[in-house]
């Protein structure tokens, strides 16, 4: 597998559209893209894998390997052209054109997401905000009118939406996901602390704030235990300065 040495003697394009890009690499491509954008803003036209890797916070060997899955877009002895590589990564991710996105659940988090400029600047366009609670409906958030949840299917069909964001309480998350899938959405970003059940073919990514904190707490506990132990072993200076 791997390697475009896989027969398929199609000479037209350099890149084989059937390459399997490892999931771990896919997760890093956006990071590289952001680093490249940052370089471009500083008018840097080209960079080495070492520079880009530092900017992205990864190992340079890993970066080169990741990029090699896309094709050979660098020049040995020189490095990578920032604009060219940016475009290639954007094309691979599929953010050369904007993706319409809807947000369901316009509470505190939903409003923050709607106002988040990072979405619009990176290939996404929020086309609608929905909420089931009547008090929210009709209000304007981030320049968009909050519409009733029952309009979901209509909006998805009209705007060709394939990506949905769920920022409702955990108890409502599954219902919202079901409705999204029924409406034709096939990628869901879920902020609700709940496990979503979706049919095959639908992708779900979960962002769970309290889980992240708990992971930190675990390591923090270990650090504290480690420190106690060191103290037990004697000979550390006191904590109070």
Partner DNA sequence: GCGAGTTTGTTCTCGCGGTCACAAACTCCG
Partner DNA sequence: CGGAGTTTGTGACCGCGAGAACAAACTCGC
Phi, psi dihedrals of residue 143, rounded to the nearest 5°: 80, 5
Report if residue 57 touches DNA, rule: CB under 7 A: no
187: left (phi over 0), alpha (psi -120 to 50) or beta: beta
Among 31, 40, 153, 183, binds a second copy (CB under 8 A): 31
Q: Considering only CA atoms, give the Rg of the chain.
A: 23
Report if residue 8 touches a second copy, rule: CB under 8 A: no
Report if residue 215 touches a second copy, rule: CB under 8 A: yes
What six digits make up the tokens of 216? 């930190």
Among 39, 70, 113, 128, binds a second copy (CB under 8 A): 113
Report if residue 25 touches DNA, rule: CB under 7 A: yes
Report if residue 124 touches a second copy, rule: CB under 8 A: yes
Query: What mask, x for binding a second copy by CB under 8 A, covers residues 125 to 164?
Result: -------------------------------------xx-
Distance CA 104, CA 120 (A): 17
Residues with Cβ within 8 Å of 240's Cβ and at least 6 positions away in sequence, in order, are: none
Distance CA 141, CA 124 (A): 17
Report if residue 203 touches a second copy, rule: CB under 8 A: yes
Q: Which residue has the tokens 């599954």?
A: 174
Residues that bind a second copy (CB under 8 A): 2, 17, 26-27, 29-31, 33-35, 55-57, 92-95, 99, 101, 107-109, 111-113, 115-116, 118-119, 121-124, 162-163, 186-189, 193, 195-197, 201, 203, 205, 207-223, 225-226
């Amino acid at each position: 597998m791997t390697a475009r040495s896989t027969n398929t003697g199609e000479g037209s394009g350099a890149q084989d559209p059937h390459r399997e890009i490892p999931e771990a690499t896919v997760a890093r491509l956006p990071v590289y893209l952001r680093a490249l954008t940052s370089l471009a803003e500083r008018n840097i036209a080209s960079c080495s894998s070492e520079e880009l890797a530092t900017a992205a916070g990864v190992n340079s060997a890993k970066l080169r390997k990741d990029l090699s899955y896309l094709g050979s877009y660098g020049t040995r002895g020189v490095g990578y052209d920032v604009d060219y590589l940016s475009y290639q990564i954007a094309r691979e991710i599929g953010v050369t054109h904007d993706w319409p996105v809807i947000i369901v659940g316009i509470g505190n988090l939903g409003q923050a997401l709607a106002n988040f400029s990072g979405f619009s600047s990176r290939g996404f366009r929020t086309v609608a905000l929905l909420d089931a609670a009547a008090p929210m409906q009709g209000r304007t958030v981030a320049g968009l009118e909050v519409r009733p949840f029952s309009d979901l299917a209509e909006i998805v069909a009209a705007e060709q939406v394939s990506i949905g964001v769920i920022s409702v309480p955990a108890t409502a998350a599954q219902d919202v996901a079901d409705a999204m899938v029924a409406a034709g959405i096939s990628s869901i970003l879920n902020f609700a602390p709940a496990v979503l059940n979706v049919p095959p073919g639908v992708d779900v990514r979960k962002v769970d704030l309290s889980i992240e904190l708990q992971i930190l707490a675990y390591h923090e506990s270990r650090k504290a235990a480690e420190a106690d132990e060191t103290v037990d072993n004697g000979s550390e200076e006191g904590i109070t300065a």
